[in-house]
Structure 1
Amino acid sequence: MAENRASVNGTGYTEGVPCWVEAQLPDVAAGRRFYGDLFGWDFEEAYDSTVWARLDGDRVAALSRKTDGRMPTVWTVYFATPDAAALAGRIRAAGGQVVTPPGEVGAGLGAAALVTDPEGAVFGLWQAREHTGFGRRHEVGTFGWAELYARDTEVANDFYGELFHDALFGPEAEPDFGRAAVGEVFPAMMPPHFVVHFRVADCAETLAAVNRLGGRVQVPPFETSYGTVAVVTDNQGASFAVLERRVEPAGSRVEPAGG
């Protein structure tokens, strides 16, 4: 397990920390081939049609079969919580929506919910039991960052700052999600959304591999406060970002404002 994991009583991540990512894909077998080649992942059966993606034996993500053709093909980031039902209630009270109420996943793995912020950006909640989240993160081939692209960044600041204050601003917080305006990277008419970032050693080489595997570059490389980023889609249309992280000076930290 990664040493930089923030735990709550040894059972998971601090509330508000990104703890898991999952792709909902029409063809899980094709996803296994794409991501296995791109990131060096191998896979194990998890539950229903879902598989765990592993790097050197540690769980780093999940691929699941999209059962409703009306739903988008997406990567979803899940934020840790000790009580998904209570957090869903706070989200609703703060102007967000509950898309899928908290429900049990697998046999004792945990409870998950899908929610939105006040602008409609979708994210997940994960209440850990047997499955605590990332086995490793912040390494090449694993989750490295999540960026919210919002219409109104002040609305986002207020909502997430209130919701996840300790994870973003607490005395020991090391945030690994931030926000930027949609129009800074995407067409202004694109709806607010999260983009999951995976760490890579070399952005240019990774983009060449994405193209070779049937994906495409959606947004060419650009510089951010947390590294060089490019947004791509896989061979089934699911968007994600690749992040070549710059070496941070000793004692520096990335601010949660992102972008």
Structure 2
Amino acid sequence: MAVFPEGVPCWVDVALPDVAAGKRFYGALLGWTFGPAAPDYGSYTQAFHDGRNVAALVAKPDGRMPTAWNVYLATADVFGTAVRARAAGGTVIMDPVRVGDFGTMAVVADPGGAVFNLWQAGSHAGFEEQGQPGSYGWAEVYTRAPERVDAFYEDVFGLRAEVDDEAGRPDFVRWVPRGRPAGARHAVSGRGLISSGYPEEMPAHFLTYFVVEDCDAAVAATGRLGGRVAIDPVTTPHGRSAVVVDNQGASFAVIDTRTRGDAPHPEGPPA
């Protein structure tokens, strides 16, 4: 069973009004297949790529809940991590709770308001495949409180903030786990800035990236499947990526990591 270091994204799931529609959308876009729904866990439905689990879809229990992708950060001690999160200025929205024998989770908001989940693995460690087309590739948090947020993730998880000079994003940092050398290849996630160009009502949030064979083809397929483009494709030193919205309103990014160039990431607001 894979072991994910502290603070490393180990799982993602999406809360949707209509799980069946989500299965059709992500099955066609990312080539996912799906296991049976788990009625005891909100019809939680595992997604697989080439037989390996890569994500999950879950029915929203309340229409007021956001339709959104959720990021889980690994921890070996969810109770201790929740205590550190409070001490570092975060908010524990849901105290740690066991999820059968799968593991123990908690829901936390960082000091800037971005919500994420903690995950202490039981029988479910997290991704069985990542970094390949059809699977998770990266996560970034976007905030208006960069100094407080960087300090929070360092205090809680030991993640070190480094400026991402390669991508031409002066307001962006990548996070590297404690004990790893500096450099992009050792980074596990990143932090961007919600600048003045974005709508005032945009909340702090995590953005999940999925790897695809061809960014432009994935963007075109998103439109055909009822989704839309939020940020047009751009080629950067890390790959060609775009931000899209699925057919129910959940935002995520697609990236072709084999197509690289010199352009910086866009800094304007989503379309």
Q: How would you bin the TM-score normalised by the shorter chain? A: 0.7 to 0.9
Task: State the secondary structure of the residue aligned to 2:79.
Answer: helix
1:17 equivalenced with 2:8 (yes/no): yes
Match 2:51 to one of 54, 57, 66: 57
The answer as to 2:106 corresponding to 1:94 is: no
Ranges in structure 2 where 5+ consecutive residues have no aligned partner: 160-174, 261-266
The corresponding residue for 2:72 is 78
> Which structure 2 residues correspond to residues 238-253 of structure 1 after superposition, within 5 A?
238-246=250-258
Deviations 1:7-57, CA, capped at 9 Å, x for gaps: xxx563111110000000011111111000000000002532011000011
Partner of 2:118: 125
Q: Percent identity, aligned pairs only?
A: 49
How far apart, CA to CA, are the structure 2 residues paired with 1:208 and 1:77?
25
* Cα distance in 1, alignment partners of residues 237 and 132 from structure 2: 18
1:153 maps to 2:146:
yes
Kindly provide the CA deviation profile for residues 67-90 of structure 1, in whole angstroms up to 9, marking residues without a partner as x: 111110000010001111111111
Residue identity in the other structure for 1:162: D
2:28 paired with 1:37: yes
From the superposition, tell whether residues 171 and 196 of structure 1 become closer, same or farther in structure 2 (CA, over 3 Å).
same
- Structure 1 unaligned segments of length 5 or more: list them: 1-9, 249-258
Change (3 A) 1:126 1:211: same
1 CA distance for matches of 2:37 and 2:78?
Answer: 21
1:47 to 24, 38, 41: 38
Q: Aligned-pair distance for 1:168? A: 1.9
User: How far has the Cα of 1:221 moved from its partner?
Assistant: 1.9
CA contact (8 A) 1:182 1:188 kept: no
1:140 to 133, 137, 155: 133
Contact 2:6/2:177 (<8 A) preserved: no
Count the aligned residue pairs.
Answer: 239
RMSD: 2.0
Equivalent-residue separation in structure 1 for 2:242 and 2:205 (angstroms):
16
Q: Offset of 1:225 from its aligned partner?
A: 5.1
Change in Cα spacing, 1:247 to 1:210, as seen in structure 2 (3 Å) is: closer
Aligned partner (choices 10, 13, 19) of residue 28 of structure 1: 19
Aligned letter for 2:109?
T
Structure 1 residue 161 displacement after superposition: 2.0
The equivalent residue for 2:158 is 165
Aligned AA (2:228): R
CA contact (8 A) 2:26 2:32 kept: yes
1:230-250 deviation line (CA, Å, top 9, x unaligned): 1111111011111121478xx
How big is the shift at 1:170? 2.8
Partner residue, 2:169: none
In structure 2, how many angstroms separate the alpha carbons of the residues matched to 1:246 and 1:179? 22
| TM norm structure 1 | 0.86
C-alpha distance in 2, partners of 1:209/1:185?
28
Is 2:109–2:115's contact at 8 Å kept on the other side of the alignment? yes
The letter for the 1-side match of 2:26 is Y
More divergent stretch after superposition (119-128 vs 172-181): 172-181
TM-score (norm 2): 0.82
